[in-house]
Amino acid sequence: MSRKPWSPPEIEMLGKRYADERAKDISSALGRSVASVYGMANKIGLKKSEPFKESIQSGRLIDGVRGKSTRFQAGQASWNKGKSFPSRGRSAETQFKPGVRQGQAVKLYQPIGAERISKDGYLQRKINDDLPLQKRWRGVHLILWEEINGPLPAGHALVFRDGDKTNIVIGNLELITRRELMARNTVHNLPPQLKEVVDLKRHITRHINRKEKERAKHD
C-alpha cells in the first residue's frame, strides 16, 4: 500500500463512508491499508455510528450474535468459585511453602542473634524471624538499657553521652525526651562558642533537677 498523502477527495470519501461501513471495505476502495484508514479517521475525529456498532458487520458480540452464550453475564458467578484443585504431576514439589526460604533468600538469611551496623551507624541485633521486617532488628544499646531498666518510656530516646555509638556500656547511655533530642540536634548547627553555652546550661539544669529530687526524697 502507498504512503502517499491523503488527497481532499479521499478525505471526503472517508468522511461519507466511515460511520456506516467497515474500514476494510473503505481501504480496498481507496487502495490504502486498514491502519491508514483508522489513522486518518482518528485524526479528523470520525466515529462509527450507533446503528453500525449494533450491526453484525461491526463484528461486535451483541445479543443474537455468536458468542453470547460463552460470555459472563452480570451477576454470574465464575464456574470455579470456591473450588480448590489438587496438585498434579510435580507441581506440588515446586510450589512455595509457608516459612520455606528459597533462592536468594537462603543466601541473605541471617539467624537470630546476628549483628549488623545500620545505615545510621548503630549496632543492631536480630531478635526474631517474624514479620514485619523492620521489627526483626533492634539496637544493641536499646536491648542493654531495657535489660536493666525495662521498656523504653514513650516519647523518650537513648543517646550516647560521649557521642560514640560503638561505646555500648550502660554508663554511656542517657535517657532523654524526644523534645530534648530535637533541641540537641538543633544545637549541632550552632557556632562552637554558642554550642558551649547551650551545653553548659543543659548540665546546670540537669544538676539543679537532680539536687531538687534528692532534697524532695530527703524531705
96 close to 102: Cβ distance less than 8 angstroms? yes
Residue 217, pLDDT above cutoff 60: yes
Q: What is the separation of C-alpha 182 from the centre of its chain, rounded to a whole number of angstroms?
A: 29
Q: Which residues contact 160 (CB under 8 A, 6 or more apart)?
A: 141, 167, 172, 173, 174
pLDDT reported for residue 1: 43
pLDDT digits (tens, 9 = 90+) for 146-184: 999 999 999 999 999 988 988 999 999 999 999 888 877
Task: Find all residues with CB under 8 Å of 140, minimum gap 6, and list them.
Answer: 115, 122, 123, 124, 125, 168
Query: For residue 144, what pLDDT is reported?
Result: 93
User: 195 to each of 142, 166, 186, how far by Cα in Å?
Assistant: 27, 24, 10
Q: What are phi and psi of 116, to 5 degrees?
A: -150, 165
Averaged pLDDT score across all residues of the chain:
79
pLDDT at 163: 86
> Which cell is 137 given?
532488628
- pLDDT exceeds cutoff 50 at 62: no
pLDDT for res 60? 60
Q: What is the mean pLDDT of residues 2-27?
A: 88
Closest to 173 measured CA to CA, from 148, 193, 210? 148
pLDDT one-digit tens code per residue, 64-122: 444 455 555 666 666 566 666 565 656 555 565 655 666 777 777 888 889 989 888 99
- Split at pLDDT 50, 70, 90, the class of 16 is very high
What pLDDT was estimated at residue 168?
93
